[in-house]
Structure 1
Amino acid sequence: MGGKISQFWKTSAQKESEGKLILPGQLDAEDEIANYASINGGDSATPGMLGAGILRRSYVNCPTCQGTGRIPREQEEQLVALIPYGDQRLKPRRTKLYVCLAVTICLLMTSLSIFFLFPRSITVLPAGLNASSIGFDVNTTSIYLNMTNVLNITNSNFYLVTAVQLDIEVLHQSLVVGKTSVKTLLNVSPLQSGQIYYMVASIISDDNTYNICTWTKVRVHNVLLHLQGTLTCTYLCHSEQVAFEDYQYVDCRGNATLPHALYRRPP
Protein backbone atom coordinates (compact mmCIF):
# COMPACT_ATOMS: atom_id res chain seq x y z
CA MET A 1 0.00 0.00 0.00
CA GLY A 2 2.80 2.29 0.90
CA GLY A 3 4.44 1.47 -2.40
CA LYS A 4 1.33 2.40 -4.28
CA ILE A 5 1.09 5.74 -2.42
CA SER A 6 4.74 6.53 -3.12
CA GLN A 7 4.24 5.63 -6.74
CA PHE A 8 1.20 7.97 -6.82
CA TRP A 9 3.15 10.79 -5.27
CA LYS A 10 6.01 10.09 -7.59
CA THR A 11 3.73 10.15 -10.53
CA SER A 12 2.26 13.46 -9.43
CA ALA A 13 5.73 14.92 -8.97
CA GLN A 14 6.78 13.69 -12.39
CA LYS A 15 3.68 15.20 -13.92
CA GLU A 16 4.40 18.51 -12.23
CA SER A 17 7.99 18.49 -13.43
CA GLU A 18 6.90 17.54 -16.93
CA GLY A 19 4.37 20.36 -16.87
CA LYS A 20 7.08 22.81 -15.86
CA LEU A 21 9.22 21.60 -18.75
CA ILE A 22 6.43 21.78 -21.30
CA LEU A 23 5.01 25.18 -20.37
CA PRO A 24 8.19 27.22 -21.07
CA GLY A 25 8.58 25.46 -24.36
CA GLN A 26 5.02 26.27 -25.31
CA LEU A 27 5.49 29.87 -24.21
CA ASP A 28 8.67 30.15 -26.25
CA ALA A 29 6.94 28.70 -29.31
CA GLU A 30 4.03 31.09 -28.91
CA ASP A 31 6.45 33.96 -28.39
CA GLU A 32 8.32 33.05 -31.58
CA ILE A 33 5.06 32.76 -33.50
CA ALA A 34 3.92 36.12 -32.16
CA ASN A 35 7.23 37.73 -33.11
CA TYR A 36 7.11 36.22 -36.58
CA ALA A 37 3.51 37.39 -36.99
CA SER A 38 4.38 40.88 -35.71
CA ILE A 39 7.09 41.18 -38.38
CA ASN A 40 4.77 40.21 -41.22
CA GLY A 41 1.40 41.46 -40.05
CA GLY A 42 2.08 44.59 -37.99
CA ASP A 43 0.56 45.55 -34.59
CA SER A 44 -3.08 45.40 -35.56
CA ALA A 45 -3.75 42.15 -33.56
CA THR A 46 -2.58 40.81 -30.21
CA PRO A 47 0.16 38.17 -30.11
CA GLY A 48 -2.17 35.63 -28.60
CA MET A 49 -4.77 35.97 -31.33
CA LEU A 50 -2.08 35.87 -34.06
CA GLY A 51 -0.47 32.83 -32.52
CA ALA A 52 -3.80 31.04 -32.26
CA GLY A 53 -4.63 31.92 -35.88
CA ILE A 54 -1.26 30.70 -37.13
CA LEU A 55 -1.40 27.49 -35.11
CA ARG A 56 -4.75 26.64 -36.70
CA ARG A 57 -3.23 26.88 -40.20
CA SER A 58 -0.31 25.05 -41.81
CA TYR A 59 2.81 27.15 -42.02
CA VAL A 60 6.42 26.81 -43.11
CA ASN A 61 9.55 27.96 -41.41
CA CYS A 62 11.05 31.27 -42.42
CA PRO A 63 13.64 30.43 -45.11
CA THR A 64 15.76 33.50 -44.31
CA CYS A 65 16.00 33.19 -40.51
CA GLN A 66 16.48 29.40 -40.16
CA GLY A 67 13.06 28.84 -38.60
CA THR A 68 13.73 30.79 -35.38
CA GLY A 69 11.84 33.93 -36.38
CA ARG A 70 14.61 36.08 -34.97
CA ILE A 71 17.76 37.67 -36.32
CA PRO A 72 20.81 39.10 -34.49
CA ARG A 73 20.77 42.79 -33.62
CA GLU A 74 23.83 43.49 -35.81
CA GLN A 75 21.80 42.35 -38.85
CA GLU A 76 18.93 44.72 -38.11
CA GLU A 77 19.99 47.12 -40.87
CA GLN A 78 19.83 44.30 -43.42
CA LEU A 79 16.11 43.66 -43.12
CA VAL A 80 14.12 43.74 -46.34
CA ALA A 81 10.48 44.81 -46.47
CA LEU A 82 8.28 42.28 -48.23
CA ILE A 83 5.20 43.39 -50.18
CA PRO A 84 2.42 40.88 -50.83
CA TYR A 85 2.10 39.76 -54.43
CA GLY A 86 -1.48 40.97 -54.59
CA ASP A 87 -0.61 44.49 -53.41
CA GLN A 88 -2.02 47.17 -55.71
CA ARG A 89 1.28 49.02 -55.70
CA LEU A 90 2.73 46.20 -57.81
CA LYS A 91 -0.08 46.56 -60.33
CA PRO A 92 -0.25 50.21 -61.45
CA ARG A 93 -3.37 50.82 -63.49
CA ARG A 94 -2.01 53.20 -66.13
CA THR A 95 1.36 51.66 -66.90
CA LYS A 96 0.27 50.30 -70.27
CA LEU A 97 -1.34 53.62 -71.13
CA TYR A 98 1.83 55.57 -70.31
CA VAL A 99 4.03 53.14 -72.22
CA CYS A 100 1.78 53.21 -75.31
CA LEU A 101 1.60 57.02 -75.15
CA ALA A 102 5.39 57.36 -74.90
CA VAL A 103 5.96 54.97 -77.81
CA THR A 104 3.36 56.79 -79.92
CA ILE A 105 4.94 60.19 -79.23
CA CYS A 106 8.42 58.87 -80.10
CA LEU A 107 7.19 57.36 -83.35
CA LEU A 108 5.34 60.56 -84.24
CA MET A 109 8.37 62.77 -83.55
CA THR A 110 10.62 60.45 -85.54
CA SER A 111 8.22 60.41 -88.49
CA LEU A 112 7.91 64.20 -88.49
CA SER A 113 11.69 64.63 -88.30
CA ILE A 114 12.21 62.27 -91.22
CA PHE A 115 9.46 63.95 -93.22
CA PHE A 116 10.79 67.50 -92.79
CA LEU A 117 14.52 66.75 -92.88
CA PHE A 118 14.56 64.17 -95.66
CA PRO A 119 16.50 65.67 -98.61
CA ARG A 120 14.35 66.42 -101.64
CA SER A 121 15.36 67.32 -105.15
CA ILE A 122 16.65 70.76 -106.12
CA THR A 123 15.35 71.62 -109.57
CA VAL A 124 17.63 73.67 -111.84
CA LEU A 125 15.98 74.79 -115.06
CA PRO A 126 17.49 77.19 -117.66
CA ALA A 127 15.10 80.07 -118.37
CA GLY A 128 16.69 80.99 -121.71
CA LEU A 129 18.68 83.86 -123.16
CA ASN A 130 18.19 87.28 -121.65
CA ALA A 131 20.57 89.36 -123.81
CA SER A 132 23.48 88.92 -126.22
CA SER A 133 26.11 90.98 -128.03
CA ILE A 134 28.01 89.98 -131.21
CA GLY A 135 31.42 90.98 -132.51
CA PHE A 136 33.28 89.85 -135.67
CA ASP A 137 36.99 89.58 -136.48
CA VAL A 138 37.53 89.69 -140.24
CA ASN A 139 41.18 88.69 -140.08
CA THR A 140 40.57 85.46 -138.14
CA THR A 141 36.95 84.93 -139.27
CA SER A 142 35.97 84.57 -135.66
CA ILE A 143 32.76 85.50 -133.86
CA TYR A 144 32.82 86.96 -130.36
CA LEU A 145 29.59 86.19 -128.60
CA ASN A 146 28.66 87.44 -125.14
CA MET A 147 25.48 85.96 -123.68
CA THR A 148 23.56 86.70 -120.51
CA ASN A 149 21.38 83.78 -119.46
CA VAL A 150 18.96 83.14 -116.63
CA LEU A 151 18.78 80.06 -114.44
CA ASN A 152 15.76 79.12 -112.32
CA ILE A 153 16.29 77.26 -109.05
CA THR A 154 13.41 75.59 -107.20
CA ASN A 155 13.83 74.42 -103.61
CA SER A 156 11.46 71.57 -102.72
CA ASN A 157 12.84 71.12 -99.21
CA PHE A 158 11.55 72.42 -95.88
CA TYR A 159 14.84 74.16 -95.11
CA LEU A 160 17.06 76.85 -96.65
CA VAL A 161 19.24 75.98 -99.65
CA THR A 162 22.21 78.15 -100.71
CA ALA A 163 23.65 78.18 -104.24
CA VAL A 164 27.37 78.82 -103.86
CA GLN A 165 28.94 78.17 -107.27
CA LEU A 166 27.91 77.89 -110.93
CA ASP A 167 30.10 76.32 -113.61
CA ILE A 168 29.08 76.73 -117.28
CA GLU A 169 30.47 75.41 -120.57
CA VAL A 170 29.26 76.51 -124.03
CA LEU A 171 29.70 74.05 -126.89
CA HIS A 172 29.39 74.63 -130.62
CA GLN A 173 29.55 71.58 -132.84
CA SER A 174 30.93 69.52 -129.93
CA LEU A 175 33.71 72.04 -129.35
CA VAL A 176 33.99 74.08 -126.16
CA VAL A 177 33.87 77.73 -127.25
CA GLY A 178 33.38 79.33 -123.85
CA LYS A 179 33.25 78.62 -120.14
CA THR A 180 32.76 80.51 -116.93
CA SER A 181 32.62 79.96 -113.19
CA VAL A 182 30.44 82.20 -111.03
CA LYS A 183 30.69 82.48 -107.26
CA THR A 184 27.27 83.25 -105.86
CA LEU A 185 25.49 83.23 -102.53
CA LEU A 186 21.86 82.89 -103.51
CA ASN A 187 19.66 81.77 -100.61
CA VAL A 188 16.53 79.95 -101.73
CA SER A 189 13.85 79.82 -99.03
CA PRO A 190 11.98 76.60 -98.26
CA LEU A 191 9.48 75.65 -100.97
CA GLN A 192 10.45 78.77 -102.95
CA SER A 193 12.27 79.59 -106.21
CA GLY A 194 15.12 81.90 -107.17
CA GLN A 195 16.99 83.09 -110.27
CA ILE A 196 20.65 83.48 -111.15
CA TYR A 197 21.93 85.72 -113.98
CA TYR A 198 25.21 84.64 -115.52
CA MET A 199 27.23 85.82 -118.52
CA VAL A 200 29.37 83.64 -120.77
CA ALA A 201 31.92 84.96 -123.29
CA SER A 202 32.41 82.66 -126.30
CA ILE A 203 34.69 82.73 -129.35
CA ILE A 204 33.51 80.76 -132.38
CA SER A 205 36.27 80.18 -134.93
CA ASP A 206 34.52 78.49 -137.81
CA ASP A 207 34.41 79.69 -141.42
CA ASN A 208 30.96 78.31 -142.20
CA THR A 209 29.44 79.83 -139.10
CA TYR A 210 31.16 83.14 -139.84
CA ASN A 211 29.70 83.15 -143.35
CA ILE A 212 26.21 82.34 -142.08
CA CYS A 213 26.36 85.20 -139.61
CA THR A 214 27.81 87.79 -142.04
CA TRP A 215 26.24 87.08 -145.40
CA THR A 216 23.38 89.38 -146.18
CA LYS A 217 21.82 86.94 -148.63
CA VAL A 218 21.03 84.56 -145.78
CA ARG A 219 17.83 85.55 -144.03
CA VAL A 220 18.23 83.47 -140.90
CA HIS A 221 21.37 84.13 -138.88
CA ASN A 222 21.16 81.74 -135.95
CA VAL A 223 23.80 79.76 -134.18
CA LEU A 224 22.92 76.65 -132.19
CA LEU A 225 24.77 76.46 -128.90
CA HIS A 226 24.81 73.68 -126.32
CA LEU A 227 25.09 74.75 -122.69
CA GLN A 228 26.21 72.41 -119.93
CA GLY A 229 26.43 73.47 -116.33
CA THR A 230 26.75 72.37 -112.72
CA LEU A 231 25.26 74.20 -109.77
CA THR A 232 26.73 73.56 -106.31
CA CYS A 233 24.26 73.92 -103.44
CA THR A 234 24.68 73.55 -99.69
CA TYR A 235 22.09 72.70 -97.05
CA LEU A 236 22.25 71.20 -93.54
CA CYS A 237 26.07 71.12 -93.66
CA HIS A 238 25.86 69.07 -96.84
CA SER A 239 27.01 69.95 -100.36
CA GLU A 240 25.31 68.76 -103.56
CA GLN A 241 25.99 69.33 -107.25
CA VAL A 242 23.08 69.55 -109.67
CA ALA A 243 23.83 69.18 -113.37
CA PHE A 244 21.76 70.71 -116.18
CA GLU A 245 21.97 71.40 -119.91
CA ASP A 246 20.18 73.46 -122.52
CA TYR A 247 20.20 74.22 -126.26
CA GLN A 248 19.90 77.82 -127.45
CA TYR A 249 19.55 79.53 -130.82
CA VAL A 250 21.35 82.88 -130.86
CA ASP A 251 20.92 85.49 -133.58
CA CYS A 252 24.48 86.18 -134.75
CA ARG A 253 23.71 88.77 -137.45
CA GLY A 254 24.08 91.63 -135.06
CA ASN A 255 23.10 92.78 -131.60
CA ALA A 256 19.52 91.76 -132.23
CA THR A 257 18.95 89.91 -128.96
CA LEU A 258 18.00 92.54 -126.38
CA PRO A 259 17.01 92.07 -122.75
CA HIS A 260 13.48 90.74 -122.54
CA ALA A 261 10.97 89.71 -119.95
CA LEU A 262 11.86 86.48 -118.20
CA TYR A 263 9.77 83.42 -118.69
CA ARG A 264 9.98 79.87 -117.53
CA ARG A 265 9.92 77.04 -119.95
CA PRO A 266 7.77 74.06 -119.12
CA PRO A 267 9.78 71.02 -117.99
Structure 2
Amino acid sequence: MSQNKEKGKRRLSKWMDYGTINGEGEWDLCPTCQGTGRIPRGEEAQLVAVIPCSDQRLKPRHTKLYVSISIILCLLTCSLILFFLFPRSVEVSQVTLQSSMVYFTTDDVEMIITNKLNISNQNFVTIQVHDLDLQALIYETVVGNNKTTNVTSVLPRSEKTLTVVTTIHITDPGLNSYCKSTSFRIHTLFLHLQLTIKVSYLSHAEQLSTDTYEYIDCGTNSTIPRPTT
Protein backbone atom coordinates (compact mmCIF):
# COMPACT_ATOMS: atom_id res chain seq x y z
CA MET A 1 0.00 0.00 0.00
CA SER A 2 2.77 2.43 0.85
CA GLN A 3 4.44 1.82 -2.53
CA ASN A 4 1.22 2.63 -4.39
CA LYS A 5 0.82 5.85 -2.44
CA GLU A 6 4.37 6.90 -3.29
CA LYS A 7 3.74 6.26 -7.02
CA GLY A 8 0.52 8.27 -6.82
CA LYS A 9 2.30 11.19 -5.19
CA ARG A 10 4.99 11.16 -7.89
CA ARG A 11 2.38 11.22 -10.66
CA LEU A 12 0.48 14.00 -8.91
CA SER A 13 3.74 15.96 -8.44
CA LYS A 14 4.60 15.47 -12.11
CA TRP A 15 1.15 16.71 -13.19
CA MET A 16 1.41 19.65 -10.83
CA ASP A 17 4.59 20.80 -12.61
CA TYR A 18 2.77 21.03 -15.96
CA GLY A 19 -0.79 21.72 -14.90
CA THR A 20 -2.91 24.57 -13.61
CA ILE A 21 -5.55 24.75 -10.96
CA ASN A 22 -9.07 25.42 -12.15
CA GLY A 23 -11.83 26.94 -10.07
CA GLU A 24 -12.86 23.56 -8.65
CA GLY A 25 -9.52 22.68 -7.17
CA GLU A 26 -8.72 20.07 -9.84
CA TRP A 27 -5.57 19.80 -11.90
CA ASP A 28 -5.59 20.12 -15.71
CA LEU A 29 -2.93 18.56 -17.85
CA CYS A 30 -0.52 20.76 -19.86
CA PRO A 31 -2.10 21.22 -23.32
CA THR A 32 1.33 21.00 -24.95
CA CYS A 33 2.85 17.82 -23.54
CA GLN A 34 -0.27 16.33 -21.90
CA GLY A 35 1.66 15.78 -18.69
CA THR A 36 4.44 13.71 -20.30
CA GLY A 37 7.10 16.43 -20.13
CA ARG A 38 8.01 15.94 -23.79
CA ILE A 39 7.03 17.83 -26.94
CA PRO A 40 5.36 15.61 -29.52
CA ARG A 41 7.24 15.12 -32.76
CA GLY A 42 6.14 17.27 -35.68
CA GLU A 43 5.05 20.16 -33.46
CA GLU A 44 8.49 21.75 -32.88
CA ALA A 45 7.98 24.31 -35.68
CA GLN A 46 4.62 25.41 -34.27
CA LEU A 47 5.78 26.12 -30.71
CA VAL A 48 7.50 29.22 -29.33
CA ALA A 49 10.09 28.97 -26.60
CA VAL A 50 10.13 31.62 -23.87
CA ILE A 51 13.64 32.49 -22.71
CA PRO A 52 14.14 34.58 -19.57
CA CYS A 53 15.97 37.88 -19.91
CA SER A 54 18.70 36.63 -17.58
CA ASP A 55 19.62 33.84 -20.00
CA GLN A 56 23.24 34.19 -21.11
CA ARG A 57 22.31 33.28 -24.67
CA LEU A 58 20.73 36.71 -25.00
CA LYS A 59 23.99 38.37 -24.00
CA PRO A 60 26.71 37.21 -26.41
CA ARG A 61 30.24 38.10 -25.42
CA HIS A 62 32.41 40.60 -27.32
CA THR A 63 29.49 41.91 -29.37
CA LYS A 64 30.90 45.44 -29.57
CA LEU A 65 34.30 44.07 -30.57
CA TYR A 66 32.86 42.01 -33.42
CA VAL A 67 30.72 44.91 -34.68
CA SER A 68 33.69 47.30 -34.56
CA ILE A 69 35.92 44.86 -36.46
CA SER A 70 33.22 44.38 -39.11
CA ILE A 71 32.82 48.13 -39.59
CA ILE A 72 36.58 48.64 -39.85
CA LEU A 73 36.91 45.84 -42.43
CA CYS A 74 34.06 47.28 -44.51
CA LEU A 75 35.60 50.77 -44.44
CA LEU A 76 39.03 49.39 -45.35
CA THR A 77 37.59 47.38 -48.26
CA CYS A 78 35.66 50.39 -49.58
CA SER A 79 38.75 52.59 -49.29
CA LEU A 80 40.88 50.12 -51.24
CA ILE A 81 38.25 49.80 -53.95
CA LEU A 82 37.97 53.58 -54.28
CA PHE A 83 41.76 53.96 -54.30
CA PHE A 84 42.33 51.50 -57.14
CA LEU A 85 39.23 52.29 -59.21
CA PHE A 86 39.09 56.06 -58.81
CA PRO A 87 39.66 57.68 -62.25
CA ARG A 88 43.07 59.27 -62.58
CA SER A 89 44.52 61.53 -65.22
CA VAL A 90 45.51 60.41 -68.71
CA GLU A 91 48.07 62.74 -70.26
CA VAL A 92 49.08 63.28 -73.88
CA SER A 93 52.52 64.77 -74.31
CA GLN A 94 53.47 67.28 -76.95
CA VAL A 95 53.48 66.01 -80.54
CA THR A 96 57.04 65.92 -81.89
CA LEU A 97 58.12 65.78 -85.51
CA GLN A 98 60.23 62.79 -86.48
CA SER A 99 60.56 63.19 -90.24
CA SER A 100 59.01 64.70 -93.33
CA MET A 101 59.27 63.70 -96.96
CA VAL A 102 58.57 66.23 -99.74
CA TYR A 103 57.31 65.37 -103.22
CA PHE A 104 56.84 67.93 -106.00
CA THR A 105 54.07 67.54 -108.57
CA THR A 106 52.99 69.82 -111.37
CA ASP A 107 50.18 71.49 -109.44
CA ASP A 108 51.01 71.07 -105.75
CA VAL A 109 53.51 70.04 -103.11
CA GLU A 110 52.87 66.81 -101.23
CA MET A 111 54.48 66.13 -97.88
CA ILE A 112 54.34 63.06 -95.65
CA ILE A 113 55.14 63.96 -92.06
CA THR A 114 55.64 61.51 -89.19
CA ASN A 115 54.90 62.64 -85.64
CA LYS A 116 55.17 60.86 -82.33
CA LEU A 117 53.26 61.44 -79.11
CA ASN A 118 53.30 59.79 -75.70
CA ILE A 119 50.17 58.73 -73.81
CA SER A 120 50.65 58.34 -70.06
CA ASN A 121 48.17 56.24 -68.08
CA GLN A 122 48.15 56.92 -64.32
CA ASN A 123 45.24 54.57 -63.62
CA PHE A 124 45.38 51.06 -62.19
CA VAL A 125 43.37 49.71 -65.12
CA THR A 126 44.02 49.44 -68.85
CA ILE A 127 42.67 52.29 -70.97
CA GLN A 128 41.44 52.10 -74.55
CA VAL A 129 42.57 54.82 -76.96
CA HIS A 130 40.36 55.48 -79.98
CA ASP A 131 39.09 58.16 -82.37
CA LEU A 132 42.39 59.93 -83.01
CA ASP A 133 42.00 63.07 -85.12
CA LEU A 134 45.04 65.07 -86.22
CA GLN A 135 44.66 68.21 -88.33
CA ALA A 136 47.53 70.10 -89.93
CA LEU A 137 47.05 73.80 -90.67
CA ILE A 138 49.15 76.40 -92.47
CA TYR A 139 47.95 79.96 -91.99
CA GLU A 140 44.62 78.70 -90.57
CA THR A 141 44.05 76.55 -93.67
CA VAL A 142 43.65 72.80 -93.23
CA VAL A 143 46.24 71.09 -95.44
CA GLY A 144 46.19 67.60 -93.93
CA ASN A 145 44.05 65.33 -91.80
CA ASN A 146 44.47 61.91 -90.19
CA LYS A 147 41.58 60.05 -88.54
CA THR A 148 41.97 56.68 -86.86
CA THR A 149 39.12 54.84 -85.13
CA ASN A 150 40.79 52.09 -83.11
CA VAL A 151 44.21 53.24 -82.00
CA THR A 152 45.69 51.20 -79.13
CA SER A 153 45.44 50.28 -75.46
CA VAL A 154 47.73 51.43 -72.64
CA LEU A 155 48.49 49.17 -69.69
CA PRO A 156 48.01 50.37 -66.08
CA ARG A 157 50.62 52.79 -64.73
CA SER A 158 52.54 52.86 -67.99
CA GLU A 159 53.30 55.03 -71.00
CA LYS A 160 53.02 54.29 -74.70
CA THR A 161 54.35 56.05 -77.79
CA LEU A 162 52.17 56.46 -80.87
CA THR A 163 53.37 57.15 -84.39
CA VAL A 164 51.03 59.23 -86.55
CA VAL A 165 51.64 59.67 -90.27
CA THR A 166 49.85 62.55 -91.98
CA THR A 167 49.79 63.51 -95.63
CA ILE A 168 49.86 67.24 -96.42
CA HIS A 169 48.79 68.74 -99.74
CA ILE A 170 49.84 72.32 -100.46
CA THR A 171 47.75 73.63 -103.35
CA ASP A 172 48.04 77.36 -102.75
CA PRO A 173 49.86 78.92 -105.77
CA GLY A 174 51.91 81.25 -103.58
CA LEU A 175 53.09 78.48 -101.27
CA ASN A 176 53.79 76.23 -104.26
CA SER A 177 56.03 78.85 -105.82
CA TYR A 178 57.73 79.46 -102.47
CA CYS A 179 58.46 75.75 -101.87
CA LYS A 180 59.67 75.10 -105.44
CA SER A 181 61.73 78.28 -105.78
CA THR A 182 65.47 77.88 -106.06
CA SER A 183 66.10 81.43 -104.90
CA PHE A 184 65.70 80.42 -101.25
CA ARG A 185 68.06 78.06 -99.53
CA ILE A 186 65.62 77.19 -96.74
CA HIS A 187 61.87 76.96 -97.38
CA THR A 188 60.44 77.07 -93.86
CA LEU A 189 56.76 76.65 -93.14
CA PHE A 190 55.06 77.11 -89.77
CA LEU A 191 52.82 74.08 -89.28
CA HIS A 192 50.02 74.08 -86.72
CA LEU A 193 48.89 70.64 -85.49
CA GLN A 194 45.62 70.11 -83.63
CA LEU A 195 45.28 66.70 -81.98
CA THR A 196 42.08 65.26 -80.48
CA ILE A 197 41.93 61.79 -78.97
CA LYS A 198 39.40 59.85 -76.89
CA VAL A 199 40.15 57.41 -74.07
CA SER A 200 37.78 55.11 -72.19
CA TYR A 201 38.14 53.01 -69.04
CA LEU A 202 35.81 51.72 -66.28
CA SER A 203 32.71 52.88 -68.19
CA HIS A 204 34.24 56.35 -68.22
CA ALA A 205 35.16 58.22 -71.40
CA GLU A 206 36.97 61.50 -71.87
CA GLN A 207 38.41 63.53 -74.72
CA LEU A 208 41.94 64.88 -74.72
CA SER A 209 43.26 67.58 -77.00
CA THR A 210 46.53 69.37 -77.54
CA ASP A 211 47.97 71.92 -79.96
CA THR A 212 51.54 72.12 -81.13
CA TYR A 213 53.58 74.00 -83.72
CA GLU A 214 56.39 72.71 -85.89
CA TYR A 215 58.84 74.16 -88.42
CA ILE A 216 59.15 72.13 -91.60
CA ASP A 217 61.15 72.66 -94.77
CA CYS A 218 58.97 72.21 -97.85
CA GLY A 219 61.87 72.54 -100.29
CA THR A 220 63.92 69.45 -99.37
CA ASN A 221 63.18 65.79 -98.94
CA SER A 222 63.78 65.77 -95.18
CA THR A 223 63.34 68.00 -92.17
CA ILE A 224 65.28 67.97 -88.91
CA PRO A 225 62.82 67.76 -85.97
CA ARG A 226 62.50 71.24 -84.43
CA PRO A 227 59.23 71.25 -82.43
CA THR A 228 58.14 74.42 -80.68
CA THR A 229 55.43 75.12 -78.16
2:154 aligned partner: 188
SS at match of 1:93: coil
SS at match of 1:158: coil
The CA distance in 2 between the partners of 1:107 and 1:144, in whole Å, is 61
1:145 aligned partner: 111
TM-score, length of structure 2 as denominator length:
0.74
| Corresponding residue to 1:35 among 14, 17, 22 | 17
The CA distance in 2 between the partners of 1:163 and 1:213, in whole Å, is 36
1:129 aligned partner: 97
Aligned length: 205
2:188 partner amino acid? N
1:198 maps onto 2:164 in alignment: yes
1:228 maps onto 2:199 in alignment: no
- Provide structure 2 residue ranges, at least 5 long, that are not aligned to the other structure: 1-8, 21-26
2:61 aligned partner: 93
1:253 aligned partner: 219
1:108 maps onto 2:76 in alignment: yes
Q: CA RMSD in A?
A: 3.4
The CA distance in 1 between the partners of 2:125 and 2:162, in whole Å, is 19
The CA distance in 2 between the partners of 1:254 and 1:116, in whole Å, is 51
1:90 partner amino acid? L
Specify whether residues 132 and 81 from structure 1 end up closer, same or farther in structure 2 by C-alpha distance, changes over 3 A only. Answer: same
The CA distance in 1 between the partners of 2:126 and 2:78, in whole Å, is 21
The CA distance in 2 between the partners of 1:170 and 1:215, in whole Å, is 23
1:113 partner amino acid? I
1:81 maps onto 2:81 in alignment: no
- Provide structure 1 residue ranges, at least 5 long, that are not aligned to the other structure: 1-26, 40-60, 62-67
TM-score, length of structure 1 as denominator length:
0.64
SS at match of 2:49: coil
Q: Once the two structures are aligned, what percentage of the paired residues are identical?
A: 37
2:92 partner amino acid? V
